Structure 1
Amino acid sequence: MSNENSGSVVFDSPEINLAYRYLHDVAHVEQGLNFSPPDEFELARWQMRRFERAGFNRNDLEWHLFQADAVGQVLYYSVTKQFVSDQLQFALDCVRHGLDRGLYLEMERQK
């Protein structure tokens, strides 16, 4: 589990972000998934379904923030082989401008 680039996060604090990352890594083991981009994407989709079963949907800001964090970061890494530099800014960009534009804006920030 890495705390790299965890200073600015979607969650309330870096500590909550680390707890989420821990649960994410445990879910890899529980689901029998490795850390390859395809398995990361499968896990992100699994997490989104659980989030939806908890009552969140596409009309909720929380759903879009979680999608940016769970799915968006997997897509970003798959394309660039880099981690998102500012998780909160990335998520806000994805919510404001859509996932594709959020990915592009993060790529521009990291040039």
Structure 2
Amino acid sequence: MRDDITIKGLDEFTEEEVKKIKELTFTNFEKISRDIKGDLVMHAKKHNKDGDRAKYSFHAKIQTPDSLITVEGDDWLLSTAMHKVMNKLKNSVHHKLKNEQI
């Protein structure tokens, strides 16, 4: 596991879900970390665990020396929720970089 990634709340998820979360987080953050240096902290939550379906929500933040970028996303499908959060994170990083260059 990378030192710059922390994922909290994984004890609520099955082994297969944890594997999927880690895989998507590592591959996407590898791309993001090319543009900005900082630590990623993800908070994962699974709602309605006992029912037929579960809703997944993720809160992510990147702490850099001079700023903090936070995003959140949720969905009924695990991979869709993860992709939403990671895409929002990528867009926020690119927006921040674009504004700093002007």
* Bin of the TM-score, shorter chain as denominator length: 0.3 to 0.5
TM norm structure 1 = 0.33
Which structure carries more strand by proportion?
2
- Larger Rg: 1 or 2? 2
TM-score (structure 2 length as normaliser) = 0.35
* Larger relative helix fraction: 1
